[in-house]
Amino acid sequence: MRELYEFAVGPLAWGAFAVFFLGSIARLVAMYSLAKKKDAPFLSYMSWRYGLRSIGHWLVPFGSLGWKENPALTVVTFIFHICLIVTPIFLLAHVVLLDLYHGIEYPTLPEAVTDVMTMLVVAACIFFAARRFFNRTVRYVTSTQDWIVLAVVFLPFATGLLAYHQVGPPLTMATLHILSAELMLVAIPFTRLSHMIFGLFTRAYMGSEFGGVRHAKDW
Amino acid sequence: MGIETRRIEDAGLARGIERLTPDRIAETFQALLAGETGARLKTYVETCVRCGMCAPACHYCISHDGDPSYSPVGKVRQTMWELLRQGGRVEPRFLADCAQIAYTECNLCRRCMHYCPLGIDTAYIMTVVRRLCSKLGMTPMYIQDTTHSHSAVLNQMWVKDDEWTDSLQWQEDEARAEFPDLRIPLETEGVDFMYSVIAPEPKFRTQLIYQAAAIFHNAGCSWTMPATPGWDNSNMAMFSGDFEIMGRVERYHFETAQRLRVKRIVMGECGHAFRAVYDVGNRWLGWKMHPVPVVHSIEFFWELLDQGKIRIAQKQPGPVTIHDPCNVIRGRGLMDKLREVVHALYDNVVEMTPNREHNLCCCAGGGVINCGPPFKNVRIVGNKAKADQLKATGVETVIAPCHNCHGGLEDIIHHFKLGMKIKFLGDVIYANMERPAEA
Ligand code: SF4
Ligand code: SF4
């Protein structure tokens, strides 16, 4: 187990981050060149001003019609995404690890706070799962990939929580936590999690069309 | 639930099924992907997180108690995702279902874009499905007929060249009883604007041409109409998916204006025609914007009132409500000007909710009404949401500056027994403007 742990925090972590960063860049580059080749007439409508304006409105909870008319989902979505991104970056244990291995140091969030944030991510995943199951529309359009993707996000946070609260054998939990986190990183560029990479662009394009061509809002 | 439970007999689709094989569909689909679609389709399909947030956006879905197969993402699931999954190797029956969904259960109204956090353009995806259906001859019969008409006579309604000019002269004659020196100028070069209408105007609603001429005459406008094909600004080929013909029609329209050396094109009260000229056809032809400035009559009427060229003799008491046509509101941002014009005409205006960019579609647009009688019920039942909205205003008059909207709203008003009248802006301006005798 010790060796697996060492391998997971060492070479495998490097590998996972490499796949995540390079994969994301490669996908962006490929998509951009495809857009340039096939969608050039539409790319030419892209506008920083209107793209950012649209993103801005959608980054505000209840700042758009879509958010307003799906209130519960809106609250959960915002909490989920904020915690999902902020928690791992400012978690004490992660920063300690970074310091240990690479000498990188920066402020952290209090452990009690990150603990709650982790629980919120886990709870949000359960909410999404319930929604996938009970909401008619969502069930109608859900495929296996959506369940896998949800599990891939759920696992690192659930195992992290267990590890932190010392449930189960600590080393096994920590190893599972790291492995599942790496799985998530690797999955981002190649599954529906890629909305993390492409979402801003689709939003910016819609914003540009609505703002620049249609002189209307899209929120 | 799902399209299989609500198939409708249509002669065009029935013929389509007979002619196709899975191989031919696959071949055409692959060619379409290779030749015409790119990153837009790919990112939309991949990025959609299947969250279902778009369901409450669509009037079809609202009107059917949230039936997921009418939700925007549900329609994509039943069409494009499946086509992509199978590489287009689908049964002709499946493609006919795709056609029914894309042509008759989506108005391409773009309302769902206000609900999708990722900015996914479901209307675009439906357009790609239509394009595939069109390439394979799987189009509902009536809308295909309008495309044939565009192709043969360059207008949507099989209006012959001499019928066009005859109609104009007839309206000029009629109007001269009221305004003795009124002209409907034909082929006058170098004037301020070319007025263009949709083919149903000379065909069924000729009085609208009379009214427009009366308003322009009163305002002292310098204008003309063309005597040649290119006068029709409507473009059903845009909605049937026959982009080659769409481009031809648009080119004629713009070239006619250029030949007449007018400063701009003023378009009648039609939303879809405006979309064709302003947003779709021009791009297909390679113009980033339009080669001759185009203005929709909402904006033009607003100018006439604003500049005092037209004065309103008697403002009407109302109450009235305003229907926002998708293609000039979400498509061109004319909501404020529309309101200013209506408020100049009426004292009491009751707003619908939601309105402006968030309006609900009339359910006739996007070529749905052009799919003809077999699908009439689909768009009436599919727009109970709008009927409820109209009813809630408690008024008896709706102002709707769009031909398609008139068609769609008339049907729901009749079916749901709302007892309302629908008016164009031109109707009200014509009836209430100061006449020369009074001025
Ligand atoms: S009808 Fe309008 S809201 Fe419904 S799917 Fe089509 S574009 Fe979206
Ligand atoms: S709202 Fe957007 S992301 Fe969500 S299901 Fe609809 S199209 Fe997909």
Q: What is the pLDDT of residues B383-428, one digit of tens each?
A: 999 999 999 999 999 999 999 999 999 999 999 999 999 999 999 9
- Where exactly are the structural domains of chain A? 2-214
Structure letter (DSSP) for residue A213: I
| Residue A37 scores a pLDDT above 50 | yes
Q: What 3-state class would DSSP assign to B129?
A: helix
Q: Looking up tokens 């991949």, which residue turns up? A: B46
Identity of the residue in A65, A141, A143 whose CB atom sits nearest the CB atom of B114: A65
Atom nearest to B72 CA in ligand 1: 5
Is the domain of B345 the same as that of B428? Answer: yes
Q: Ligand 2: which of B43, B47, B48 to mutate, most ligand atoms within 8 Å of CB?
A: B48
**Long-range Cβ pairs for the range B8-11 (8 Å, 24+):** B8/B100, B8/B104, B8/B374, B8/B375, B8/B378, B9/B374, B10/B100, B10/B140, B10/B141, B10/B371, B10/B374, B10/B375, B11/B141
Is the domain of B78 the same as that of B194? Answer: no
In contact, B266 and B295? CB cutoff 8 Å = yes
CA distances (Å), origin B434, targets A123, A188, B210, B316, B345: 67, 66, 16, 13, 12
Q: Does some domain include residue B145?
A: no
Q: Does some domain include residue B355?
A: yes
Q: Does some domain include residue B76?
A: yes
Does ligand 1 lie within 6 Å of residue B109's CB atom? yes
What percent of chain A is predicted at pLDDT more than 90?
90
Q: Does some domain include residue B220?
A: yes
The token pair that represents B265 in the structure block = 């094109």
**Is A107 an interface residue toward B (CB < 8 Å)?**
no
For residue B196, what are the β-bridge partners? B267
For residue B398, what are the β-bridge partners? B321, B422
Put simply, the answer to whether B77 touches A141 (Cβ < 8 Å) is yes
Q: Ligand 1: which of B111, B358, B368, B378 to mutate, most ligand atoms within 8 Å of CB?
A: B111
- Compute the distance from residue A142 Cα to the ligand 2 centre, in Å: 11
Alpha carbon distance A136, A140 (integer Å): 6
Q: Ligand 1: which of B48, B71, B122, B404 to mutate, most ligand atoms within 8 Å of CB?
A: B122
Its sign, for the CA torsion B5, B9, B13, B17, is positive
Does ligand 1 lie within 6 Å of residue B57's CB atom? yes
| B264, B285, B304 - which closes a domain | B304
User: Nearest residue on chain A to B329, judged by CA atoms?
Assistant: A216
Is the domain of B428 the same as that of B380? Answer: yes
Is the domain of B288 the same as that of B317? Answer: no
User: What total of structural domains would you count in chain B?
Assistant: 3
Sheet holding B294-296, edge to edge: B223-224, B193-196, B264-267, B294-296
**Is A214 an interface residue toward B (CB < 8 Å)?**
yes
Is the domain of B168 the same as that of B268? Answer: yes
Structure letter (DSSP) for residue B27: H
**Is A17 an interface residue toward B (CB < 8 Å)?**
no
Phi, psi dihedrals of residue B266, rounded to the nearest 5°:
-100, 130
| B304, B331, B359 - which closes a domain | B304
Alpha carbon distance B104, B97 (integer Å): 10
Is the domain of B289 the same as that of B354? Answer: no
For residue B316, what are the β-bridge partners? B346
User: Nearest residue on chain B to A207, judged by CA atoms?
Assistant: B119
Q: What 3-state class would DSSP assign to B398?
A: strand
B-chain CB neighbours of A41 within 8 Å are: 283, 286, 288
B-chain CB neighbours of A45 within 8 Å are: 288
In contact, B322 and B351? CB cutoff 8 Å = yes
Phi, psi dihedrals of residue B322, rounded to the nearest 5°:
-110, 130
In contact, B279 and B239? CB cutoff 8 Å = no
Q: Does some domain include residue B48?
A: yes
Amino acid found at B49: V
Put simply, the answer to whether A135 touches B358 (Cβ < 8 Å) is no
**How is B205-266 classified by DSSP, letter by letter?**
-THHHHHHHHHHHHHT--EEB-SSTT-B---THHHHT-HHHHHHHHHHHHHHHHHTT-SEEE
- What does the pLDDT average to over A47-56? 96
- What does the pLDDT average to over B76-97? 97
What percent of chain B is predicted at pLDDT more than 90?
96
Q: Does some domain include residue B144?
A: no
CA distances (Å), origin B130, targets A51, B81, B202, B237: 28, 14, 29, 11
H-helix segments, B37-87: 39-47, 59-63, 72-76, 82-85
Amino acid found at B340: E
The CA distance from B57 to the nearest CA of chain A, in Å, is 8
Is the domain of B157 the same as that of B284? Answer: yes
User: Nearest residue on chain B to A35, judged by CA atoms?
Assistant: B39
What percent of chain A is predicted at pLDDT more than 70?
100
pLDDT in the model for residue B175: 94
pLDDT in the model for residue A45: 92
pTM: 0.95
Identity of the residue in B42, B53, B286 whose CB atom sits nearest the CB atom of A66: B53
Min mean pLDDT across A52-56, B92-96, B268-272, B434-438 is at B434-438
Which candidate, A161, A198, A206, places its Cα nearest to that of A180? A161
B-chain CB neighbours of A136 within 8 Å are: 66-68
Put simply, the answer to whether A202 touches B49 (Cβ < 8 Å) is no
Does ligand 1 lie within 6 Å of residue B106's CB atom? yes
The token pair that represents B11 in the structure block = 């002669």
How many degrees, rounded to 5, is the angle at CA B388 between CA B386 and CA B389? 60
Can you give the residue range of the structural domain that contains B300?
Answer: 151-304
Interfacial A residues in 41-60 facing B (CB < 8 Å)? 41-42, 44-45, 54, 58
| Residue A87 scores a pLDDT above 60 | yes
Interfacial A residues in 71-90 facing B (CB < 8 Å)? 73, 77
- What does the pLDDT average to over B152-171? 95
Stated as kind and residue range, the H or E segment containing B427 is helix B425-432
pLDDT in the model for residue A42: 87
Q: Does some domain include residue B437?
A: no
Does ligand 2 lie within 6 Å of residue B73's CB atom? yes
Its sign, for the CA torsion B344, B345, B351, B355, is negative
Alpha carbon distance B45, B39 (integer Å): 10
Is the domain of B328 the same as that of B300? Answer: no
Is the domain of B367 the same as that of B425? Answer: yes
User: Nearest residue on chain A to B57, judged by CA atoms?
Assistant: A66
User: Nearest residue on chain B to A135, judged by CA atoms?
Assistant: B52
Which residues, including other chains, have CB under 8 Å from residue B388's CB and lie 6 or more apart? none
- What does the pLDDT average to over B45-51? 95
Does domain A2-214 correspond to CATH entry 1.20.950?
A: yes
In contact, A193 and A184? CB cutoff 8 Å = yes
Alpha carbon distance B23, A215 (integer Å): 43
pLDDT in the model for residue B24: 97
- Per the prediction, chain A carries an average pLDDT of 94
Which residues, including other chains, have CB under 8 Å from residue B31's CB and lie 6 or more apart? none
Is the domain of B133 the same as that of B234? Answer: no
In contact, B106 and B128? CB cutoff 8 Å = no
- Residue B439 banded pLDDT, cuts 50, 70, 90: very low
| B94, B112, B139 - which closes a domain | B139
- What does the pLDDT average to over B53-77? 96
Q: What 3-state class would DSSP assign to B67?
A: coil
**Is B55 an interface residue toward A (CB < 8 Å)?**
yes
**Is B34 an interface residue toward A (CB < 8 Å)?**
no
- Domain with residue B414: its CATH number is 3.40.50
| Residue B290 scores a pLDDT above 90 | no
- Domain with residue B99: its CATH number is 1.10.1060
Identity of the residue in A58, A138, A213 whose CB atom sits nearest the CB atom of B51: A138
Is the domain of B177 the same as that of B113? Answer: no
| Residue B438 scores a pLDDT above 60 | no
Put simply, the answer to whether B52 touches A141 (Cβ < 8 Å) is yes
Alpha carbon distance A205, B297 (integer Å): 28
- What does the pLDDT average to over A160-174? 92
Which residues, including other chains, have CB under 8 Å from residue A103's CB and lie 6 or more apart? none
- Residue B288 banded pLDDT, cuts 50, 70, 90: confident
- Among protein residues, the one with the nearest Cα to ligand 2's atom 4 is B51
Put simply, the answer to whether A136 touches B68 (Cβ < 8 Å) is yes
Is the domain of B34 the same as that of B112? Answer: yes
| H, E, C per residue of A86-103 | HHHHHCHHHHHHHHHHHC
Alpha carbon distance B299, B402 (integer Å): 13
pLDDT digits (tens, 9 = 90+) for B308-337: 999 999 899 989 999 999 999 999 999 999
Atom nearest to B326 CA in ligand 1: 2
A-chain CB neighbours of B335 within 8 Å are: 216
pLDDT in the model for residue B404: 94
- Per the prediction, chain B carries an average pLDDT of 95
**Is B288 an interface residue toward A (CB < 8 Å)?**
yes
Alpha carbon distance B295, B116 (integer Å): 30
Q: Looking up tokens 């890629």, which residue turns up? A: A194
Does ligand 2 lie within 6 Å of residue B52's CB atom? yes
pLDDT in the model for residue B1: 82
Alpha carbon distance B310, B378 (integer Å): 41
In this structure, the strands spanning B223-224 and B294-296 are unpaired
The CA distance from B314 to the nearest CA of chain A, in Å, is 32
In contact, B425 and B297? CB cutoff 8 Å = yes
